[in-house]
Structure 1
Amino acid sequence: MLVKLGGSVITDKARPLTPRRASIRALASALAGLREPVIAVHGGGSFGHYWSVRHDMHTRADEYDARGVATVKDSMARLGAIVTGALLRAGASPYPLAPSSIMRRTRADTAAIRDMARVAEAGWMPVTYGDALWAGGRRSFILSGDRIMSMVALAVRPRLCVFALNADGVYSDPSSREVVPEMRAGQGVSTGDAGMDVTGGMARKLAESARIARAGIDVFVVNGNRPGRITAAVAGKGHQGTLIRGRRVGGRAARSS
């Protein structure tokens, strides 16, 4: 299973460089209790995104300020250590991986991603995150956690992808806060999102979720402040959130596992 811990859940996006430690502990406990291989990805929230905005860095490769790149990377390493520390204390066996280890400059390293899945199958929990990466020469770019989710999903084809956000699911209308319980890839919905986010906010999450679902993999969008909803959905005990159904071919999922 592949899980994204949203930056808006694990950090206070209104306060720079502020982790939400209680939320991180609760999510770590939920993930540690899952009885299947898990790969975890987390966002930058008020750590990486804060510095990305300050230094005007984006997902497009360009010659961004070298100090800005270094500062983003430092902040994400710090947040990553907080997340993996919480997982360790919760009883999991986290296996931190820098995102550069699964990339070849701006492209996914499929072989490395499949090795990451083998690490999960062997009993560890790989943990990686969005970050600033070198693109060649003096260029760099921001690799979002949402983009990592789709890259990993397409390479290893997990049975389920979970996006844990600071929202109850995908809203049909932000004014009514009505959650869409189930939808198809590409279905029109609200893409409104709040807070600092140079990686595209909810629009990016839905685009990457649709990419995953088109490959035949179910995607569950859930409120990360309610970790019990993640464990209930994984256990097949119903879902409170939005389930984006993977495209089926001939009545079956297109994925291999």
Structure 2
Amino acid sequence: MILIKLGGSVITDKARPLTPRKKAMDAVARVLRKADEPVIIVHGGGSFGHYWSVKYDMHTEPKKYNPRGVATVKNSMIKLDNMVLESLFKNGHSPYCLCPSAFMSGNRASPKGIREAGEIAKSGMTPVTYGDALWHGQKKTYILSGDRIMTHIARVLRPRLCIFALGEDGLYSDMKSRKLVREAGSMRASISATDMDVTGGMARKVREATAISRGGTRVFFVNGNKPRRIADAIGGKFEGTLFR
């Protein structure tokens, strides 16, 4: 089984609010169609969910956020998810929309719900879920990042491989020279985040990838704007950063 996160910087133009990158979605969908094993897809919010999260000052910490903001974030993520589903469908997949509330209760993951997602993937369909604004309880809500979802799913299903498709080639040891870190270990990599990203940016991805790799699953950071690199990672070759 392959678990892949499609970064918001791949499927949207993060410099332009509410702007999808449909050609990029199609390119990734075509590559994933060639996988000969079950696939589960998680995607980020990019210039949709993240944009509104910033506008309404919403974060991963559960709080009593503006109800209007919660509704706006959720509606924008549904719109973006529909575009991802449409792209997958027209490129030969049988996508199955899996809202994060199907496997989350408050801020805790439901192993039963995640195992069911695994069964759906094994049936020939492609579960698709995404980062979202979720109910926490006691009138509180929070932002659940797609990166965190990757860890929740990986801990239960133990996929063969996890791929984070980014807008960069991987981690850099230095942003100025853009020297790529081939294998993440004790080396301190250069980590950057955009102002729009309220879920932790690259730092969050590194933390989640490290947690997943400690569970025994290899994790690749690859450039999702170069879809061939996703195919290479699936096949055991890669151009990016490896966590293991």
TM-score, normalised with respect to structure 1: 0.93
Shift of residue 187, structure 1, vs aligned partner = 4.3
- Whichever residue aligns with residue 241 of structure 2, its letter is T
What's the secondary structure of 1:81's corresponding residue?
A: helix
Gaps spanning 5+ residues in structure 2: where? Answer: none
Which residue in the other structure is 2:202 paired with? 202
- Whichever residue aligns with residue 241 of structure 1, its letter is G
- 1:222 matched to 2:218? The reply is no
Please show how residues 4-15 of structure 1 align to structure 2 within 5 Å: 4-15=5-16
Which residue in the other structure is 1:233 paired with? 233
Provide the C-alpha distance between the structure 1 equivalents of 2:41 and 2:89, rounded to a whole number of angstroms. Answer: 13
Misfit runs of 4+, over 3 Å: none
- Whichever residue aligns with residue 71 of structure 1, its letter is T
- 1:192 matched to 2:192? The reply is yes
Of the structure 1 ranges 173-182 and 138-147, higher mean CA displacement relative to structure 2 is found in 173-182
TM-score, normalised with respect to structure 2: 0.98
Provide the C-alpha distance between the structure 2 equivalents of 1:99 and 1:32, rounded to a whole number of angstroms. Answer: 23
Shift of residue 137, structure 1, vs aligned partner = 2.5
Shift of residue 194, structure 1, vs aligned partner = 2.8
Which residue in the other structure is 1:92 paired with? 93
Of the structure 1 ranges 76-85 and 30-39, higher mean CA displacement relative to structure 2 is found in 30-39
- Whichever residue aligns with residue 221 of structure 1, its letter is F
Which residue in the other structure is 2:33 paired with? 32
Gaps spanning 5+ residues in structure 1: where? Answer: 246-257
Shift of residue 30, structure 1, vs aligned partner = 1.1
Provide the C-alpha distance between the structure 1 equivalents of 2:169 and 2:158, rounded to a whole number of angstroms. Answer: 25
The answer to whether the 8 A contact 1:98-1:128 is kept is yes
Provide the C-alpha distance between the structure 2 equivalents of 1:8 and 1:230, rounded to a whole number of angstroms. Answer: 15
Which residue in the other structure is 1:65 paired with? 66
Please show how residues 48-127 of structure 1 align to structure 2 within 5 Å: 48-127=49-128
Provide the C-alpha distance between the structure 2 equivalents of 1:150 and 1:196, rounded to a whole number of angstroms. Answer: 22
Provide the C-alpha distance between the structure 1 equivalents of 2:62 and 2:195, rounded to a whole number of angstroms. Answer: 23
What's the secondary structure of 1:100's corresponding residue?
A: helix
Per-residue displacement from partner, 1:109-144 (whole Å, max 9, x unpaired)? 111001101110111100000000000121000000
The answer to whether the 8 A contact 1:133-1:141 is kept is yes
The answer to whether the 8 A contact 2:39-2:126 is kept is yes
What's the secondary structure of 2:188's corresponding residue?
A: coil
The answer to whether the 8 A contact 2:173-2:187 is kept is no
Provide the C-alpha distance between the structure 1 equivalents of 2:174 and 2:193, rounded to a whole number of angstroms. Answer: 12
Please show how residues 160-179 of structure 1 align to structure 2 within 5 Å: 160-179=161-180
Which residue in the other structure is 2:158 paired with? 157
